[in-house]
Chain A
Amino acid sequence: DAKTTQPNSMESNEEEPVHLPCNHSTISGTDYIHWYRQLPSQGPEYVIHGLTSNVNNRMASLAIAEDRKSSTLILHRATLRDAAVYYCILRDSAQKLVFGQGTRLTINP
């Protein structure tokens, strides 16, 4: 499975936008970029996914670089409930998810 690199931790303030980066320089042409997040004491939760074009849903936006070697998860207006570990995952099939260490996001009130 192709590898992703994320910062260990990030901090932001409530009601401000948050940009969570992910590098995936070895991505293949068929890999989808998925983001999951894990709130404290819960299982991971799907956030968003994309292939080439930027994507928006009710939770977040995903901006994908033109060369697809990096992507950014955007939370437009962070709340305290967005404090979680965010995982960027590449997938080329419907099988297992391969998680890295993720980015621990702290939101300050």
Chain B
Amino acid sequence: DTGVSQNPRHKITKRGQNVTFRCDPISEHNRLYWYRQTLGQGPEFLTYFQNEAQLEKSRLLSDRFSAERPKGSFSTLEIQRTEQGDSAMYLCASSLATGGPKNIQYFGAGTRLSVL
């Protein structure tokens, strides 16, 4: 049983460059979430998908951010024209859609982005 996989684990980029992260969820999970975590803070929700449909986006997700889940399996998160404030850990989680508020999310180890 493989868990949630995120690649790359670390990314260093220069300000103004575009970056893309990938998340592979647990295979039978139809929900996929993206969160962002800055140093010393708890994770903050960015967006989530049910299958290939993007159902909710946070106000944190500026127009430089785009997320896709084209076939309802893996997802990508792209940040265009990166800024130093984008430096953070980007976490992906997956879950089943069932269970209501008892539902459990399973997290990957995250991608740490450093913008120089």
Q: Interface residues, chain A, CB within 8 Å of chain B?
A: 30-32, 41-46, 49, 85, 87, 91-102
Contact = CB atoms under 8 A, between A and B. Distances in A.
| Chain A interface main SS type | loop
A39 to B, nearest CB: 10
Contacts of B42: 85, 87, 99-102
Nearest to A32: B101
A30 to B, nearest CB: 7
Most chain B Cβ neighbours within 10 Å, of A41, A45, A91, A95: A95
A32 B43 contact: no
B46 to A, nearest CB: 9
Contact of B95 (A31, A41, A94, A99): A94
Given A49-B102, A97-B33, 5 more contacts: A44-B93, A45-B107, A87-B42, A94-B97, A96-B56
A24 B53 CA distance: 33
B48 A96 contact: yes
Pairs A-B, 8 closest by C-beta atoms: A43-B107, A99-B42, A94-B103, A96-B45, A91-B101, A32-B101, A46-B104, A44-B107
Given A95-B48, A96-B45, A43 B110 contact: yes
B59 to A, nearest CB: 13
A48 B33 CA distance: 20
A101 B48 contact: no
Given A87-B42, A99-B42, A93 B101 contact: yes
Interface centre among B33, B45, B56 (most CB of A within 10 A): B45
A41 to B, nearest CB: 7
Contact of A95 (B41, B44, B56, B91): B56
18 contacts: A30-B101, A32-B101, A41-B109, A43-B91, A43-B107, A43-B109, A44-B93, A46-B105, A91-B103, A94-B95, A94-B98, A94-B100, A94-B103, A96-B33, A96-B48, A97-B93, A99-B42, A102-B42
